[in-house]
Amino acid sequence: MKTYEQKGDDSLLIINHKTLKKVSVKNVVLLKGDVNYTVFHLLHGREKIVARSIKFFEKFLETHGFLRVHRSFMINPNYVEMYNQEKDILTMRNGHEATISRRRKHTLKNIVE
């Protein structure tokens, strides 16, 4: 697996503008979208739920090396542990799994070498 350089050492992502809750980008392992909610799966099993869609965070996180592998999943390639090609599933270091859509398989060629 390749290791991706992330932009900046301590980039913060504001996930709630009213309370100014922030998350360090390097601690985000996986984003899972569910209609208009996004669940941030962080290191050490923590989760944050935000009332925004993944698309809201997509452009910012792409500049930090994140990949959109499914309409419901966005991953940090630095935390990919295993890729099951038969089932098209990525297993992350924290144990969560992300499904890969047929149309987005080409994005994985860069990280699985």
Hey, what are 54's tokens? Answer: 């993944």
Interval 19-70: pLDDT, tens:
777 888 999 999 999 999 999 999 988 999 999 999 999 998 999 999 999 9
Q: Which residue ranges form the domains of the chain, and what is each CATH number?
A: 12-110 (2.40.50.1020)
The reported pLDDT for the residue numbered 28 is 93
Instruction: Determine what percent of the chain is predicted with pLDDT higher than 70.
Output: 86
Q: How confident is the model at residue 15 (pLDDT cuts 50, 70, 90)?
A: confident
pLDDT of amino acid 3: 44
Q: Would you say the pTM of this structure is higher than 0.95? A: no
